[in-house]
Amino acid sequence: MNQSSKIYVAGHTGMVGSAIWKNLKNKGYKNLIGRTIQELDLINCQAVDKYFQEEKPEYIFLAAAKVGGIVANNIYRGQFIYENLMIQNNIIHNAWKHGAKKLLFLGSTCIYPKEAPQPIKEDYLLSSPLEFTNEPYAIAKIAGIKMCESYNLQYNTNFISVMPTNLYGPNDNFQLDNSHVLPALLRKIYLAKCLEDKNWSAIKNDLNKRPLKNVSGKDAISSILNVLKEVGVFNEKQKPSVEIWGSGKPMREFLWSEEMADACVFLMENVDFIDLIKIQSKKTGTKNEIRNSHINIGTGKEISIKDLAFLIKMRIGFKGELIFNTNKPDGTMRKLTDVSKLNSLGWHHKIDINEGLNKFIDWYVNS
């Protein structure tokens, strides 16, 4: 890529896409294009075809996706597999059809088997069954990896895939019915702290920005208390508390979203599919079977959900109780990525969970 290349960031307003957009801007790329979901429905084949025909992007970051946490993945199973397959199929196919020079497809480490050995190497893909709660989403992302590999092999395209670990950062999703664990914990503990301090102006401001189940800061205090109790931020004893799904024992790896973006731009600038074939061929000793060309993006470090929750509690200053509901599912117990391939290509993370959490809390409270 050069600074005048036309670069399309699909999903540029979301957490992942906005971080990539910001990174590109900061590095001097001037010809960025993007469309909101209102402007371009990526599920619509004809609309995506028309967009590519008109814009003819040279480089594409495919960051658009239907995403959510364990609750959303388990409830909206049909939506997650259908919408993700349609989005990525339309963009990858039209990138080839309209002659894009390169595409980077973003997946997720949930593509790996539930009982994968730890840390998880790229080679563990499709080696055993997936975690049930997010199986539809994972299958869609696996299909995206295989579509990129298959187009490369048949059409000589230059499409690469990256699998980021759990991400957090600016523009994250804080809707408690479908958010990931870290933003959900942050928001719930923040609201509980506000309740503890009887800071109703902060609570109302938070709900005005992000209503909970159609309840905003303009509603009556009784309605606000009811919805906070429903989402696990106010208990039956009429005290601020935070309910957390599962035992708190699962271990998770977290990466600051802006570092993920830096890794993606680095790979787009420096690594081609042919480089990944060489790595795989050297490892397996065969050139006949090209698979697992994707790249893990992570830190290689993990923390338990329980320790994470208490860390957020300490940083926010909440003094109330954290309640771990063991009647709810834990999900996969460990999902630590092996990032040796990424490191060998020349990129290493710098921001650990302590620094990242401080940045995240500051962004949420002040955004």
Residues annotated catalytic, as ranges: 137
Distance separating alpha carbons of residues 198 and 187, to the nearest angstrom: 16
**Where is 61: in which H helix or E strand?**
strand 59-62
Distance separating alpha carbons of residues 230 and 224, to the nearest angstrom: 10
CB 241 within 8 A of CB 322: yes
Query: 75 φ, ψ to 5°?
Result: -85, -45
Q: Which of 9, 365, 353 is nearest to 181 (CA)?
A: 353
Contacts of 69 (CB under 8 A, 6+ apart): 178, 179, 180, 181, 184
Distance separating alpha carbons of residues 245 and 184, to the nearest angstrom: 11
Tokens, residue 366 = 């002040």
Distance separating alpha carbons of residues 124 and 168, to the nearest angstrom: 25
Tokens, residue 91 = 């963009």
Contacts of 233 (CB under 8 A, 6+ apart): 188, 191, 192, 195, 240, 241, 242, 243
